[in-house]
């Protein structure tokens, strides 16, 4: 069996034991809360990991882009929700082909967007399941909760559209909040989407699913009465930001980056062969603080160029040229998207590869 | 011929007319300064674009990682400098195989690093051409100019090593400087690397090349007496940061991202289907200011999630769901690394694809 010492650097490692625990743990949490778990597969973009989630009891997968759904459908996944406002006739034609093969639903947040999809489905004598995106405070996409019912009615009457539910993301759990605040806002966001669902039901529409996402807020949100589904993604691998947000501990982090020190030009500065092409340049959440932490110490990657990670060496630590280190990255999803394959490890030995089959699927 | 309207979004576009002008313009500048041009191919990672640079008169290519050199060598490139401190016996064995097929030189900045390469070459009865990296103020890798001669002597006497020159990057031209300051620091960095070369020569070593990189500083630096080679990369495509730094004008930008507005939830906010997976999350240089500018207007992508670009809509501008926009990204090199292929356009029509054959080569 190959050892870590034989791997070329940089390599992205995934510890299968930790991964398995994370998948089982979130599934158990969802079961005990009585909600469906539909993990966001953007974190891994890998059919192998998605199959582990389905095998553990996930009801289906969440993805964002049409091309991602095409990859996962080609790998045998049968129930996909695209939690993203898909727009345009060209995308609609691809969704129509997908809907022939799998159970598919997509997000919408505008009449124009929904119509661009519905027209294509209607012309084919079909209806597309859509869920209305609610903005629970992130100020990105989604309608304000106050207009959810009116917007749902307008979308539901479009030809080729079947209204199926409401969902929210609540990504503001990632910014500028303490772990306690994140826990509190999770329940707040749950309340917002449940109230929006009630308003839509009061307007006469059937709302099958009331769905809500994101690893930081999901524990607090999934226990809000009326929530039927949750869509966390990052929990499979976890990362430095999840630890800072209090939604994971260091031992829950399955993904690390194996790197080599290639330069040590000053006592307080060393440089590894993993930069933004390996770690991404995504900032740490909730507060920016470099691009990764060296596992087993206090030093961190303070800045990145494409192929350089500049370590600010913590007091009492030192690095020598040729030394190998493992780095906990800020954002696991962004790291997955940079690599065609990750290295699966268990107990310090290499077990195989994880293919990131849907890497780079942006269309 | 396919029109831009038929392309799926997001797509990364490269205007071949602008690309051709950029390649010819930099080559002419180098010719008139009497220096060799060895473009850093990290910006495009594409053999097709590299061939255009060689055809225009480039003396060879610069890359960073061993795997990048392997891809370009497999595509017929015969003269590659890895301007990066390569370290380790496993990399050295791959460099040895490359050196059998192409003219190869690599960067070093430590005795330990150089020894890890030289030992492998020496055991094979070969010598590897190395250039010593000088830190001209960026505080990343490289030795301080004051110790260049002493370090060069120690490295030059290692078995398996052939000392071939000095080089610097000067990436601090990207941070916190005005265009005038960038122009000034270019000549300053040229002076530093030339003086380091003189010190190394005074110590008795032969210095063939005195080399210096980066698009912002290269115009000022290539005319410094004693500089023999320049290694700009970004000039082929240019980007929003180069415009802000004064090293390119808007009409010199060959790369744009075609995106669709998928949500327009507020008068001052619209969302496009291009986020950090398409534009990267690299900040604008020299001063952070969102993640891209909408071509033909003042609005900019103020924040990104993986698949969302949130436009802060400028006064007097507006966006509707379904509208297509073109975005000037912050950092062309980072965008190339996110996509397996770019779309080549000319005069508003699609001409073909540019394969990013060395995308993701981090090892």
pLDDT digits (tens, 9 = 90+) for B195-213: 999 999 999 999 999 999 8
Check if B265 contacts A (Cβ < 8 Å): yes
pLDDT digits (tens, 9 = 90+) for A261-319: 999 999 999 999 999 999 999 999 999 999 999 999 999 999 999 999 999 999 999 99
Residues of B in contact with A11 (CB under 8 A): 363
The DSSP-derived string for A248-280 is S-GGG--EEEEEEEEEEEETTEEEES--HHHH-
Give the model's pLDDT for residue A173: 65
Q: Would you state the pLDDT for residue B348?
A: 87
**pLDDT tens column, A141-158:** 999 999 999 999 999 999
In this structure, which topology does domain A4-11+249-355 adopt according to CATH?
A: Lyase, Ornithine Decarboxylase; Chain A, domain 1 (2.40.37)
Q: Does position B177 have pLDDT exceeding 80, yes or no? A: no
B305 alpha-carbon distance from chain centroid: 25
Average pLDDT over residues A40-44: 98
- How many A-B residue pairs are in contact by the CB < 8 A criterion? 171
Spatial CA neighbour of B308 closest among B273, B349, B277, B336: B273
Give the Cβ contact number of residue B159 at 10 Å.
Answer: 11
**Which of B140, B262, B339 is closest, CB to CB, to A305?**
B140
Q: What is the distance between the alpha carbons of residues A113 and A107, in angstroms, rounded to a whole number?
A: 10
CATH class of B16-236: alpha beta
Q: Which of B115, B321, B353, B357 to mutate to test the interface with A (most CBs of A within 10 A)?
A: B321
Among B87, B278, B363, whose Cβ lies nearest the Cβ of A322?
A: B87
Distance from CA of A111 to the nearest CA of B (A): 9
Chain A contact present for B85, CB below 8 A: yes
Q: Which of B193, B199, B203, B324 has its CA nearest to residue B258?
A: B324
Question: Once rounded to an integer, what is the mean pLDDT over residues A22-39?
Answer: 98
Residue contact B277–A362, C-beta within 8 A: yes
C-alpha angle B350/B352/B355, rounded to 5°? 135
Asked whether residue A187 carries a pLDDT value surpassing 70, the answer given is yes
User: Which residues of A are less than 8 Å from B88 in CB distance?
Assistant: 9, 260, 322
pLDDT in tens, A206-249: 999 999 988 988 888 999 999 999 999 999 999 999 999 999 99
- Averaged pLDDT, B343-347: 96
pTM listed for this prediction: 0.97
- B10–A contact, CB cutoff 8 A: yes
Domains of chain B: which residue ranges?
A: 4-11+249-355, 16-236
Task: Write out chain A residues lying below 8 Å of B86, CB-based.
Answer: 262
CATH topology of domain A17-236: TIM Barrel (3.20.20)
Same CATH fold assignment for domains B4-11+249-355 and B16-236: no
Mean pLDDT of A324-337: 98
For chain B, helix, strand, coil in percent to 5 are 35, 25, 35
Tally helices (H) and strands (E) across chain B. 11, 17
Tokens of A18: 């930790």
User: Which of B6, B97, B115, B265 is the mutation pick for testing A, counting most A CBs within 10 A?
Assistant: B265
Interchain pair A280, B281: CB under 8 A: yes
């Amino acid at each position: 069996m190959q050892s870590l010492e034989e791997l070329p650097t940089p390599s992205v490692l995934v510890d299968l034991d930790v991964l398995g625990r994370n998948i089982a743990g979130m599934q158990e949490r969802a079961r005990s809360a009585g909600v469906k778990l539909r993990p966001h597969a953007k974190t891994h973009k890998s059919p192998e990991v998605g199959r582990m989630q389905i095998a553990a009891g996930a009801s289906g997968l969440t993805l964002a882009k049409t091309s991602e759904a095409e990859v996962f459908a080609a790998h045998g996944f049968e129930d996909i929700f695209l939690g993203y406002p898909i727009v345009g006739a060209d995308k609609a034609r691809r969704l129509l082909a997908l809907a022939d093969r799998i159970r598919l639903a997509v997000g919408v947040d505008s009449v124009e967007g929904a119509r661009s999809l519905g027209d294509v489905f209607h012309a084919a004598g079909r209806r597309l399941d859509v869920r209305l995106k609610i903005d629970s405070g992130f100020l990105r996409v989604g309608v304000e909760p106050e207009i959810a019912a009116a917007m749902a009615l307008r979308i539901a009457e479009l030809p080729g559209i079947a209204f199926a539910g409401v969902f929210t993301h609540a990504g503001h759990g990632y910014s500028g909040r303490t772990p306690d605040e994140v826990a509190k806002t999770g329940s707040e966001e749950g309340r917002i989407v449940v109230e929006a669902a009630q308003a839509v039901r009061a307007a006469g529409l059937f709302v099958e699913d009331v769905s809500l996402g994101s690893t930081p807020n999901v524990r607090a949100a999934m226990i809000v009465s009326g929530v039927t589904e949750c869509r966390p993604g990052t929990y499979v691998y976890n990362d430095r930001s999840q630890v800072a947000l209090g939604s994971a501990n260091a031992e829950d982090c399955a993904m690390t980056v194996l790197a080599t020190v290639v330069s040590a030009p000053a006592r307080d500065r060393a440089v590894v062969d993993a930069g933004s092409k390996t770690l991404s340049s995504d900032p740490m959440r909730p507060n920016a603080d470099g691009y990764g932490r060296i596992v087993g110490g206090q030093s961190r990657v303070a800045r990145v160029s494409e192929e350089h990670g500049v370590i600010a060496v913590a007091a009492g630590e030192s690095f020598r040229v040729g030394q190998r280190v493992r780095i906990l990255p800020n954002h696991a999803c962004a790291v997955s998207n940079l690599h065609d394959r990750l290295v699966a490890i268990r107990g310090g030995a290499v077990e195989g590869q994880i293919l990131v089959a849907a890497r780079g699927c942006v269309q």
